[in-house]
């Protein structure tokens, strides 16, 4: 005698105790909700990490933020700015420009006994800020 298909409360038909299609949809929905929660927590942690920065880094690309934090930490620990290809500006020798990438620069000031990071500028902002010769 052949098995009879039955109709589940959801409207689907099948042979088992539960509707496997609806169970799979529920599992996928729960998985998506977990992923969204993890993404939300990661965003909150990323935003909270800006509170500890010496220089304002919000709004910059993530790769630039990470590199800026690394360079700033090493400079504050006493590393020489020249190992990062930093250069003093001609118009004001106290100002040091350290390239973070082709498009971004870390601006520092030589305070005599230490180097103090001040800002991270895009290449366009950096070219506007320095005086024209």
Question: Domain span at residue 41?
Answer: 16-48
Instruction: Enter the pTM of the model.
Output: 0.69
pLDDT at 133: 45
Q: Does residue 123 sit in the same domain as residue 67?
A: yes
- Is 69 contained in some domain? yes
pLDDT at 66: 92
Cα(29)–Cα(21) distance, rounded to whole angstroms?
12
Cα(123)–Cα(129) distance, rounded to whole angstroms?
10
Q: Does residue 60 sit in the same domain as residue 34?
A: no
**Residue 79 is part of a domain; what is its CATH number?**
3.30.2310.20
Cα three-residue angle 13-15-17, rounded to 5 degrees: 100
pLDDT at 128: 74
Q: Does residue 64 sit in the same domain as residue 122?
A: yes
Cα(47)–Cα(113) distance, rounded to whole angstroms?
32
Task: Give tens-digit pLDDT for 12-33.
Answer: 888 888 888 888 988 888 888 8
pLDDT < 70 positions in the chain: 1, 129-133
Cα(13)–Cα(34) distance, rounded to whole angstroms?
30
pLDDT at 50: 87
DSSP-derived pairing of the beta strands 13-14 and 87-88: unpaired
pLDDT at 130: 62
pLDDT at 131: 54
Cα(93)–Cα(74) distance, rounded to whole angstroms?
21
Q: Does residue 65 sit in the same domain as residue 85?
A: yes
Task: Give tens-digit pLDDT for 82-94.
Answer: 899 989 888 888 8
- Is 2 contained in some domain? no
Picking from 48, 65, 89, the residue at the C-terminal end of a domain is: 48
Number of domains in the chain: 2
Q: Does residue 41 sit in the same domain as residue 80?
A: no
Query: How far is residue 91 from each of residues 95, 97, 109, 112, 132, measured CA to CA in Å?
Result: 9, 12, 13, 18, 9
- Is 28 contained in some domain? yes
Helix (H, G, I), strand (E, B) or coil at 98: strand
């Amino acid at each position: 005698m052949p098995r009879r298909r039955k109709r589940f409360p959801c409207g689907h038909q099948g042979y088992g105790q539960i509707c496997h299609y609806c169970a799979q949809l529920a599992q996928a929905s729960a998985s998506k909700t977990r992923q969204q929660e993890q993404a939300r927590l990661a965003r909150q942690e990323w935003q909270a990490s800006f509170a500890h920065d010496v220089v304002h880094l919000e709004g910059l690309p993530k790769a630039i933020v990470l590199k800026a934090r690394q360079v700033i930490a090493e400079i504050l620990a006493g590393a020489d700015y020249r190992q990062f290809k930093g250069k003093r500006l001609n118009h004001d020798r106290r100002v040091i420009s350290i390239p973070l990438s082709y498009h971004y620069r870390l601006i520092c000031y030589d305070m005599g006994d230490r180097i103090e990071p001040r800002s991270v500028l895009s290449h366009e902002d950096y070219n506007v800020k320095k005086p024209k010769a």
